[in-house]
Structure 1
Amino acid sequence: MTLLVPFDGSALAEAALTRAVEFGEVFEQSVVVIAVVPQGNTTYARERGWIEADESFDTETIVSRLREQVTALAPDAAFRYERVPRAARAGSIAREIRRTARRSEASIVFIGSDNAGRLVTALSSVGGNVAADQTYDVLIVRHTD
């Protein structure tokens, strides 16, 4: 069994990763991090701080930066990434995360989100879509402290 953390580089994703590492130490479970990158979507990448305003989209650069961020927080975590089409919606990204959760036999998915799991969830919420899967437990991290 593993602990899975969807990671987009945000402060909440960092907090979720930190929590997963803490749980992993207590429960002696490994941590797997998954980043999902929409190919060629410069706007999406800039909104998440993956690239600067003057940089062009480059998957390897983005993945390298995310991997470095993960390694700084969780050196022992396994880092994986998946590519989705440029116009991928939240459902496509969530599908990749759920697929990774099943493949890695995740016991808990740690989601850094300020809106996942609320009674009313936006249709475009990746966190809400991942939290809806009943094959694993979900821990929602809503605060960075």
Structure 2
Amino acid sequence: MTFVVPFDGSDLAEAALVRAVEYGAALDVAVTAVTVVPERTRYAREKSWIGRDENYDPGRVVESLRGRVETLAPEASFDFERIREFPPEAEIAEHIGALALEHDPAVVFLGSDNVGRVVTPLASVGVHVAAEDDYDVFIVRRPSPPRIDAVERHDAFYDA
């Protein structure tokens, strides 16, 4: 059993990773962060992985994301897939979902401020990942700490 976190380096993905580690420590469950990196510059700019005039090196982005995971959650593992195409969000979500399933997740911790709302954007990767029936989904909508006594806060993250 594993807690899996789709990780793109966004603030809410970071919060989801920290939350997964906190719950994982309380429940003795391993945590894996998964990333899908399309080899297209436009997507990298949309994710703020590179600046407007910066050249895109997918390998460097993978290592940067891996480093961020190691900083936030040294006990978590990191897995990634590089894909050549720049597919629609639903197809990126399929890649993320398939990568997550490789880790036999009990729960996917998803950082998203719009998944599960009455009105949901169709272009959200999170919407498609959350729709999967093979695992439960824990949605992290804000980086604030949990309010459960058994869960130990990672104060360094919350105080930053």
Shorter-chain TM-score tier: over 0.9
Write the deviation string for residues 67-108 of structure 1: whole angstroms up to 9, x where unpaired. 111110001111011122332111111111211222211000
TM-score by length of 1: 0.93
Match of 1:107 in 2: 106
Q: State the number of aligned residues.
A: 144
Structure 2 residue identity aligned to 1:50: W
Match of 1:8 in 2: 8
Structure 1 residue identity aligned to 2:37: V
Match of 1:78 in 2: 77
Match of 2:97 in 1: 98
Write the deviation string for residues 27-61 of structure 1: whole angstroms up to 9, x where unpaired. 1010011111111x212212222112332111111
Whether 1:43 aligns to 2:57 is no
Q: Does the aligned pair in 2 maintain the 1:3–1:107 contact within 8 Å?
A: yes
CA RMSD for the aligned pairs? 1.2
Match of 2:28 in 1: 28
Write the deviation string for residues 8-33 of structure 1: whole angstroms up to 9, x where unpaired. 10000000000000011011010011
Q: Does the aligned pair in 2 maintain the 1:3–1:108 contact within 8 Å?
A: yes
Q: Does the aligned pair in 1 maintain the 2:43–2:86 contact within 8 Å?
A: no
Structure 1 residue identity aligned to 2:77: A
Whether 1:116 aligns to 2:93 is no
Match of 1:140 in 2: 139
